[in-house]
Amino acid sequence: MTSRKQAPTSPPALSEYNVLLADPAVREGIARRDRGRPAFDPPVLDDGTRNAFARQRLKNKRGNRSDGSSEIEPGAVTTCAEATHCAHRRGPSRPGNRARLGLMEIVTSCDRPDLKREADVALRGKWPEFLFPHDPVMMRYEAQVAEFFAQYDVLMLEGDRVVAGAWGVAIHWDGTLEDLPDGYDDTMVRAVKGHENGIEPTTLTYMTVAVIDGETGRGLAGKILTAVRARGVAAGLSHVIAPVRPTLKPRYPLTPMSSFATWTGKDGLSIDPWIRTHQRMGATILAPAARSMVITGTIAQWESWTGMVFPETGRYLVPGSLGPVDISREEDTGTYVEENLWVQHL
Ligand SMILES: CC(C)(COP(=O)(O)OP(=O)(O)OC[C@H]1O[C@@H](n2cnc3c(N)ncnc32)[C@H](O)[C@@H]1OP(=O)(O)O)[C@@H](O)C(=O)NCCC(=O)NCCS
């Protein structure tokens, strides 16, 4: 099932180029690349200084803590307007800040903090409750990811309405199966630690994408991922991968991902609609991500997250899970290990 074949890197259609070139972040990345500067060269501000983000990166390159703790200085928090990778500079009132996608717009979340609540309500509820916001790794690193990778956290607007959201991170990956992160959680850790330690990233990793209820099936997910990918490519990243959570997998929770990923229809594409979307974008399947996320909680927590009761020790299938949850009455714990599927776009 696994494949070392590079994903075909077919160029976007002409209309996609127009969308991408309308994105100021992409234009800025291309201009920087064409000037021959390193992809993540810390920018120098108008007054000749480097911003807090850049100072932190330089500091990290010079010396790091051995305990692995966060090295962000108090007071050195990068604001949205300062963030190196937040190419747009705040404000819905500045028309130049917006990327036009027909009637759609792509904006970074930090450009439009006013949309945070709407985006949270519309998009966060698209996953089972036990997953978000109860993944401890995500809770631990969420703020750093938002700060370090703001340019890959985008919303798609139709008019003034959020219709989709996606975010990704940049990691160092050498292109081999052996060097793939364990999955979603491990990618977050690698992204944050790599950034803090000044390790040059090579790879954009799509982390999540969601389309609001009522707007699915229009191809919006592919469009927003394409916009994120263009930002990564313009920043000099040479690979694009994703630990995919197949949307049909909850119907087959007892089937290992290694089998599920091989199930194809007559067209040779996956039977899973979400894997299919990635394949249509040119992605190839790499390998299962066996320990993509690990969620633990007390039995009371699991009962509240799932609306079920767990009277005995054993394995349970809960709504929305891709595999079973192990419940131990003796230890008062429930443990769920989510298996995802690595795909490679570039
Ligand atoms: C998965 C998701 C992002 C897909 O977005 P999208 O814009 O609808 O994607 P597409 O338009 O490319 O549709 C993909 C496929 O799913 C199908 N689909 C979309 N919405 C569907 C629905 N509500 N019910 C059944 N099938 C649906 C489409 O018909 C298409 O199938 P096809 O290959 O037969 O044409 C979106 O459904 C979503 O937000 N889901 C919840 C969050 C999630 O699971 N995200 C992915 C993991 S991070």
Q: Is residue 344 part of a domain?
A: no
Q: Is residue 340 part of a domain?
A: no
Which atom from ligand 1 is nearest to the alpha carbon of 212?
39
pLDDT tens sequence across 138-194? 999 999 999 999 999 999 999 989 999 999 999 999 999 999 999 999 999 999 999
pLDDT tens sequence across 120-151? 888 988 999 999 889 999 999 999 999 999 99
Q: Is residue 310 part of a domain?
A: no
Q: Residues near ligand 1 with C-beta < 6 Å?
A: 126, 208-211, 216-222, 245, 247, 273-274, 276-277
Which atom from ligand 1 is nearest to the alpha carbon of 210?
39
Q: Ligand 1: which residue has its CA nearest to atom 33?
A: 273
Q: Is residue 22 part of a domain?
A: yes
pLDDT tens sequence across 3-24? 333 434 443 443 443 444 455 6
Q: CA–CA separation, 92 vs 98, rounded Å?
A: 8
Q: Is residue 94 part of a domain?
A: yes
* Tokens read off for 241: 């991968």
Q: How far is the CA of 44 from the centre of ligand 1 (A)?
A: 42
Q: Is residue 119 part of a domain?
A: yes
Domain count, the chain: 1
| Residue that the structure tokens 């509240």 belong to | 304
Q: Is residue 73 part of a domain?
A: yes
Most informative mutation of 167, 247, 271, 272 for ligand 1 (most atoms within 8 A of CB): 247
Which atom from ligand 1 is nearest to the alpha carbon of 216?
8
Most informative mutation of 211, 218, 244 for ligand 1 (most atoms within 8 A of CB): 211
Instruction: Report whether 202 contacts 237 (CB < 8 A).
Output: yes
Q: How far is the CA of 277 from the centre of ligand 1 (A)?
A: 8
Q: How far is the CA of 208 from the centre of ligand 1 (A)?
A: 13
For residue 28, give the CATH number of its domain.
3.40.630.30
For 79, the domain range is 14-243
Which atom from ligand 1 is nearest to the alpha carbon of 123?
39
Q: Is residue 6 part of a domain?
A: no
